[in-house]
Chain A
Amino acid sequence: MARTDIGPPHYEQFLPPVIKENYGKWKYHEILKPGVLKHVGETGEIYSVRVGSARLLTIDRIEEYCQLADKYCDGYLRFTSRNNVEFLVSDPAKVEPLLAELKEKGFPVGGTGNALNNIIHTQGWVHCHSAATDASGIVKAVMDELYEYFVDMKLPAKLKISLACCLNMCGAVHCSDIAILGIHRTPPKIQHEWVAKQCEIPTVVASCPTGAIRPNPKEKSVVVNEEKCMYCGNCYTMCPAMPIADPDNDGVAILVGGKVSNARTVPMFSRLAIPYLPNNPPRWPEVTQAIRKLVEVWVQNARPGERYGEWIERIGWEAFFKIADLPFTDKHIDDFIFSVPTFRTSAQFKF
Chain B
Amino acid sequence: MAELKTPLLDQLTTGPWPSFVADMKRLVDRKPTVADVLAQLELSYEEKKGHWKHGGIVGVMGYGGGVIGRYSDMPEKFPNVAEFHTMRINQPSGWFYTTKALRDLMKIWDKYGSGLTNMHGSTGDIILLGTVTDNLQPAFDEFSDLGWDLGGSGSDLRTPSCCVGPARCECACIDTLDLCYDLTQEFQDELHRPMWPYKFKIKISGCANDCVASIARADFAIIGTWRDDLKIDQEAVREYVNSGFDIQGVVIDKCPTKCLTWTGSELVLDGSNCVRCMHCINKMPKALRPGDDKGATILVGGKATILQSAFLGWVIVPFMKLEKPYDELKDLLRNIWEWWDEHGKVRERIGELIYRKGMRVFLKDLGMDPLPQMVFRPRANPYFFWWPEEVNQG
Contacts and interface: CB of A to CB of B under 8 A. Distances in A.
Chain A complexes with chain B? yes
Interface of A: 1-11, 13-15, 19, 23-24, 26-30, 39, 46, 48, 52-63, 65-66, 69-70, 75-81, 83, 85, 106-108, 120, 122-131, 134, 136-137, 140-141, 143-144, 147, 150, 164, 167-175, 203, 206-207, 209, 232, 234, 237-238, 240, 245, 247, 250, 258, 260-265, 267, 269, 279, 281-283, 304-305, 336-338
Contact of A245 (B37, B49, B256): B49
Contacts of A108: 16-18
B109 A59 contact: yes
A168 B306 CA distance: 6
21 contacts: A1-B62, A4-B192, A5-B189, A8-B92, A8-B181, A9-B147, A28-B170, A29-B170, A59-B27, A77-B97, A120-B122, A134-B41, A140-B15, A168-B306, A169-B306, A172-B122, A206-B345, A250-B48, A263-B282, A267-B215, A281-B45
Contacts of B227: none
Interface stretch (B51-59, B317-325, B330-338, B357-365): B51-59
Given A55-B119, A129-B70, 9 more contacts: A5-B149, A7-B188, A8-B149, A8-B181, A23-B167, A29-B170, A83-B119, A141-B12, A174-B310
A52 B24 CA distance: 17
A249 B51 CA distance: 17
Q: Which of B118, B188, B286, B309 has the most C-beta atoms of chain A within 10 angstroms of its own C-beta?
A: B118
B174 to A, nearest CB: 10
Interface of B: 8-9, 11-12, 14-21, 23-24, 26-27, 34, 37, 41, 44-45, 47-55, 60-63, 70, 84, 86, 90-103, 106, 109-110, 115-120, 122, 129-130, 140-141, 144-145, 147-149, 161, 163-164, 166-170, 172, 175, 177, 181, 184-185, 188-189, 192, 208-217, 223, 249-250, 254-256, 275-279, 282, 285-286, 303-310, 312, 345-347
Contact of A260 (B15, B115, B213, B306): B213
A62 B37 contact: no
A75 to B, nearest CB: 4
Given A63-B106, A175-B312, A240 B168 contact: no
Contact of A57 (B23, B189, B223, B275): B23
Given A7-B181, A19-B167, A140 B20 contact: yes
A34 to B, nearest CB: 14
B95 A80 contact: yes
Given A11-B93, A264-B256, A59 B15 contact: no
Contact of A7 (B110, B130, B149): B149
Nearest to A173: B304
Q: Chain A's interface: helix, strand, loop or mixed, by majority?
A: loop
Nearest to B345: A206
Closest 9 CB pairs of A and B: A144-B15, A169-B304, A262-B208, A2-B144, A143-B17, A24-B166, A125-B44, A66-B99, A281-B45
A13 B26 CA distance: 32
Contacts of A143: 17
